[in-house]
């Protein structure tokens, strides 16, 4: 057993089958919607739909907190996702580092995290939910209501572990499977998740057949189309056949590709509808919801299951969005 695995096991242990608490490594990149990945011709998401894997609830916290042992110095650190920056790296190994690198609410949160998070010999990431002393928290777009008042100083929703041998810029991410042990000062929140049984074989097979009729686009074109689709969602408009036709015409791309995008999105929405979790109650504008969504990971990738018309629309139009993961 290597040094890194030994310390992860000390912190979170093993599952009953002896499986370690992290699976399916990937570079530290932004999570994608399944339907967006199809635009460039990557059909692996169709296998992803049909393959079992680890499912975790996405907690709508802010900012993202990264902490653990800095492989470059061997010292404990805390930070936001700016610890992974290629140039302006903001790693905080002391309170004075936090004062130099950050300001305002983010600095205040990091000072508390530096004092309250457990010292570990590996690297973890989670989302900040709030300070203890209440049962209701709105860290970003979603309001969470717990069963009782939280007595710990801080609340973190952990979701990712990292391997970085020499430098955080080369960190490789894996989903966190088991919830770390809470302490007297830090409550870790990681709801259990499960999916109601459903057979997606037939509809995925249809999507695969449909893909043979499509002309796929480049990464650059895909980014442009995704931005336009997000603009439609932000405006609260329906992404129907007329919208897809107009987007295809404006970008001079194959309309069948956008029809495929819509089909894959509908498969994602059906899967999301079948997901369940035992986390705190979640609300958007006083209307109860499932939460932000879920992340499913298997050998074909790691994608998020999010209702874009509900959560993404609210998040795009939330004044809090600009603080999420802010350095």
Give the pLDDT confidence score for residue 56 in this predicted structure: 92
Give the pLDDT confidence score for residue 177 in this predicted structure: 84
Whether 285 is covered by a domain: the verdict is no
Residue 12 has pLDDT above 50, yes or no: no
Mean pLDDT on 131-157: 97
Give the pLDDT confidence score for residue 165 in this predicted structure: 86
Whether 227 is covered by a domain: the verdict is yes
The total number of residues written for the chain in this structure: 327
Range of the domain at 80: 3-25+59-190
Give the pLDDT confidence score for residue 5 in this predicted structure: 43
C-alpha angle 53/60/293, rounded to 5°? 40
Whether 175 is covered by a domain: the verdict is yes
Q: Are residues 243 and 311 in the same domain?
A: yes
pLDDT band at 166 (very low <50, low <70, confident <90, very high): confident
Give the pLDDT confidence score for residue 321 in this predicted structure: 41
Q: Are strands 172-175 and 154-163 parallel, antiparallel or unpaired?
A: antiparallel
Q: Are residues 229 and 142 in the same domain?
A: no
Q: Are residues 21 and 36 in the same domain?
A: no
pLDDT band at 34 (very low <50, low <70, confident <90, very high): very high
Q: Are residues 10 and 107 in the same domain?
A: yes
Q: Are residues 178 and 65 in the same domain?
A: yes
* Three-state DSSP string of the chain: CCHHHHHHHHHHCCCCCCCCCECCCEECCCCECHHHHHHHCCCHHHHHHHCCCEEEEECCCCCEEEEEECCCCCCEEEECHHHHCCCCCCCECCHHHHHHHCCHHHHHHHHHHHHHCCCCCCEEEEEEEEECCCCEECCCCCEEECCCCCCCCEEEEEEEEEECCCCHHHCEEEEECCCCCCCCCEEECCCCEEECCCCCHHHHHHHHHHHCCCCCCCHHHHHHHHHHHHHHHHCCCCCCHHHHHHHHHHHCCCHHHHHHHHHHHHHHHHHHHCEEECCCEEEECCEEECCCEEEEEECCEEEEECCHHHHHHHHHCCCCHHHCCCC
Q: Report in angstroms the alpha-carbon separations of 160 from 26, 41, 164, 262.
A: 11, 28, 13, 29
Lowest mean per-residue pLDDT among 26-30, 221-225, 245-249: 26-30
Q: Are residues 251 and 104 in the same domain?
A: no
Give the pLDDT confidence score for residue 4 in this predicted structure: 38
Q: Are residues 303 and 230 in the same domain?
A: yes
Residue 191 has pLDDT above 50, yes or no: yes
Cβ-contact 123, 45 below 8 angstroms: no
Q: Are residues 165 and 231 in the same domain?
A: no
pLDDT band at 140 (very low <50, low <70, confident <90, very high): very high
Average pLDDT, the chain: 88
Q: pLDDT digits over 238-248, tens only?
A: 899 999 999 99
Residue 196 has pLDDT above 80, yes or no: yes
Q: Give the pTM.
A: 0.83
Q: Are residues 84 and 212 in the same domain?
A: no
Give the count of domains, the chain: 2
Q: Report in angstroms the alpha-carbon separations of 183 from 53, 116, 257.
A: 29, 9, 50
Give the pLDDT confidence score for residue 26 in this predicted structure: 53
Mean pLDDT on 220-228: 97
Whether 293 is covered by a domain: the verdict is no
Q: How many percent of the chain have pLDDT more than 70?
A: 87
Cβ-contact 57, 289 below 8 angstroms: no
Looking at per-residue pLDDT, the higher value among 137 and 234 belongs to 137
Whether 283 is covered by a domain: the verdict is no
Q: Residues 239-242: contacts with CB within 8 Å, 24+ apart?
A: 239/265
Last residue of a domain, one of 190, 207, 234: 190
Q: Are residues 20 and 75 in the same domain?
A: yes
Q: Are residues 264 and 169 in the same domain?
A: no
Whether 286 is covered by a domain: the verdict is no
Last residue of a domain, one of 141, 171, 190: 190
Q: pLDDT digits over 315-326, tens only?
A: 767 654 434 433
Looking at per-residue pLDDT, the higher value among 167 and 1 belongs to 167
Last residue of a domain, one of 190, 219, 249: 190
Mean pLDDT on 271-294: 93
Whether 278 is covered by a domain: the verdict is no
Whether 68 is covered by a domain: the verdict is yes
Q: Are residues 240 and 315 in the same domain?
A: yes
Handedness of CA 114, 115, 121, 125 (dihedral sign): negative
Q: pLDDT digits over 60-118, tens only?
A: 999 999 999 999 999 999 999 999 998 899 999 999 999 999 999 999 999 999 999 99
């Amino acid at each position: 057993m290597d040094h890194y695995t030994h310390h992860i096991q000390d912190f979170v242990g093993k599952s009953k089958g002896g499986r370690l608490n992290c699976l399916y490594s990937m570079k530290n990149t932004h999570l994608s919607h399944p339907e967006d990945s199809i635009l460039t011709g990557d059909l692996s998401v169709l296998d992803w739909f049909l393959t079992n894997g680890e499912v975790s609830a996405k907690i709508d916290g802010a900012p993202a907190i990264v902490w653990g042992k800095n492989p470059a110095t061997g010292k404990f650190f805390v930070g936001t996702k700016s610890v992974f920056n290629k140039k302006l790296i903001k790693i905080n190994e002391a309170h004075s580092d936090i004062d130099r690198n950050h300001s305002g609410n983010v600095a205040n949160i990091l000072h508390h995290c530096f004092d309250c998070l457990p010292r570990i010999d590996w690297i973890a990431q989670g989302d900040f939910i709030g300070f203890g002393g209440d049962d209701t928290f709105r860290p970003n777009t979603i309001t969470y209501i717990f069963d009782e008042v939280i007595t710990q100083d801080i609340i973190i929703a952990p979701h990712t572990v990292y391997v970085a041998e020499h430098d955080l810029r080369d960190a490789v991410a894996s989903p966190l499977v088991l919830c770390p042990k809470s302490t007297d000062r830090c409550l870790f929140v990681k709801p259990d998740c499960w999916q109601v049984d459903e057979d997606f074989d037939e509809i995925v097979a249809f999507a695969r057949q449909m893909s043979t009729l499509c002309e796929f686009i480049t990464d650059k074109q895909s980014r442009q189309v995704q931005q336009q689709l997000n603009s439609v969602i932000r405006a609260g408009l329906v992404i129907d056949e007329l919208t897809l036709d107009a987007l295809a015409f404006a970008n001079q791309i194959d309309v069948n590709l956008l029809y495929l995008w819509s089909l894959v999105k509908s498969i994602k929405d059906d899967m999301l509808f079948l997901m369940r979790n035992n986390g705190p109650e979640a609300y958007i504008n006083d209307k109860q919801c499932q939460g932000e969504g879920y992340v499913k990971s298997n050998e074909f990738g790691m994608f998020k299951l999010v209702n874009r018309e509900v959560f993404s629309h609210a998040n795009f139009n939330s004044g809090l969005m600009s603080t999420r993961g802010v350095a």
